[in-house]
Amino acid sequence: MPPASGIYVDGEWVESSTGETTGVEDPATGETVGEIHVASASDAERAIEAAVGAQAEWAATPGPERGAILRRTGELLAERKDGVAETLTREEGKTLAEASGEVQRAVDIFHYYGEKAREIGGTVKAASSSEKRLRTEKEPLGTVSLITPWNYPIAIPAWKLAPALATGNTAVLKPATVAPGPSRAIVECLAEAGLPAGVANYVTGSGSELGPVLTEHEDVDGVSFTGSTVVGTGVYQSAAADMKRVQCEMGGKNPTVVAPSADFEAAVEAVGAGAFGVTGQACTACSRAVVHEDVYDEFVSAVADYAESLTVGSGLDDVDMGPHVTADELESTLEYVDIARDEGATLVTGGGRPSDDDAAAGHFVEPTVFADVESDMRIAREEVFGPVLAVIEVSDLDEAIAVANDVEFGLSASIFTQDLSETHAFTDRVEAGVAKVNEKTTGLELHVPFGGYKGSSTNTYREQGDAAIDFFTSTKTVYLNY
């Protein structure tokens, strides 16, 4: 069995060269529930060297064989699903039901790309001569760095690792220091499934120490990053400096428009679930409800009732919403509550920490609704990354779309309407990489592209589905005369 922590380099679980470890805290209790080894820049370099050393042989391994290892990884992860979901809840805080759904997502992703590995190929086109053949082939990029956030600590590592490996790349994964256990489980399952040494490597530690190596090293051919816009912007600049392929998926400020014709109850439910699910710590969380004046008052009252109906507590208990992941994230949300009040928004419900004694040790916050929000307020423009909903009143669809687009982000956006013209106007004109009709902003299918517009993404390549295959491969065009 591998040790409970450590970094994984060239097929071995080893201690980091610093010899330092740092604890992983349960956000519901403050207890230490795990540890990570703090890797150094030289550990990251060793991991890259191991990946580079393993790349040619892995690329030469037939796709179906690579796929079989990925499918086996999915099976092993499925066998460990309950334990991994519990680890996820203990480290990140989301409820066990949410964590379990996320682990299942990772399982499904490994099966999906396990099958895809068979199909990776190219196209054949008609050539300008009958004695010529023209075709394209997809080749792996080489060695890739995968940098992931804490908020989906197994789904995001899975949706980067699985397509990277399926296409014949080797990889170094660096998860967030908060909630590293679930991605470690993936690496353990990959090793048990027979992945050759060096193909997937795993380093933990500070982003500012490891990030520059992972994004700038001359032997790294591609960088896939998910995280905040501020860090992603720096990652993009440093990775693109020597023409590496790079994709960064970053923050959001996702709107749901509620039209007068909407199925009202469905809209309230979707906005509530989108705003407060996973404690609002989703890049696709609904943080703005843009509501037509005809249903505005009724909507504010109903969504506040929804927020007040939620139970808040440890994700291991039978609750609707877990804690914030860290004290810093909690602090940031509470600061935004003050900012919104100072800006003149009306606090309808929540805005503080739950008062019961059990909540004192954890990073809990109440589901919060602000009304009378104007589109130019910070609460309507900046990513809060907590369970805080801003409700904005509008008088027609044009204004709703203008408000929806009036932010630097463009990740996910939805509308609730029964009007076909409104549906088309919205999906045509909304500036978002994901546009949904009569559905919450959160929740993604794994076989279609995912990514943002504007400040939410480098908008280079999408993730997931076939888009991930495109990101992790280069296209070679073959002219064959005979």
Interface residues with ligand NAD (CB under 6 A) are 147-152, 174-176, 207-208, 211, 215, 226-228, 231, 234-235, 249-252, 283, 383, 385, 411, 452, 456
- Minimal distance, residue 103 CB to ligand NAD, in Å: 16
- Minimal distance, residue 282 CB to ligand NAD, in Å: 7
d(CA 202, CA 2): 13
Which residue, 202 or 296, has its beta carbon nearer to ligand NAD? 202
Which residue, 239 or 262, has its beta carbon nearer to ligand NAD? 239
- Minimal distance, residue 29 CB to ligand NAD, in Å: 21
Which residue, 67 or 315, has its beta carbon nearer to ligand NAD? 315
| Residue whose token pair is 């504010």 | 300
d(CA 414, CA 405): 12
Is there a catalytic annotation at residue 283? yes
- Would you say 141 and 221 are in contact if contact means Cβ atoms under 8 Å apart? yes
- Would you say 295 and 263 are in contact if contact means Cβ atoms under 8 Å apart? no
The 3-state DSSP class for residue 421 equals helix
Which residue, 58 or 385, has its beta carbon nearer to ligand NAD? 385
- Minimal distance, residue 253 CB to ligand NAD, in Å: 9
* Other CB atoms within 10 A of residue 318 CB: 11
The 3-state DSSP class for residue 323 equals coil
- Minimal distance, residue 213 CB to ligand NAD, in Å: 9
From the candidates 189, 248, 283, 286, give the one annotated as an active-site residue: 283
> For residue 395, what are the β-bridge partners?
none
In 3D space, the residue among 65, 193, 58, 242 whose CA is nearest the CA of residue 139 turns out to be 58
d(CA 224, CA 215): 9
d(CA 27, CA 315): 10
- Would you say 363 and 323 are in contact if contact means Cβ atoms under 8 Å apart? yes
- Minimal distance, residue 306 CB to ligand NAD, in Å: 23
d(CA 5, CA 39): 12
Which residue, 51 or 411, has its beta carbon nearer to ligand NAD? 411
d(CA 390, CA 53): 51
In 344-396, alpha helices (H): 378-381
Which residue, 411 or 469, has its beta carbon nearer to ligand NAD? 411
Which residue, 150 or 336, has its beta carbon nearer to ligand NAD? 150
In 27-132, alpha helices (H): 41-60, 63-79, 81-92, 96-119
- Would you say 369 and 349 are in contact if contact means Cβ atoms under 8 Å apart? yes
- Minimal distance, residue 154 CB to ligand NAD, in Å: 12
Q: Which residues are catalytic?
A: 283
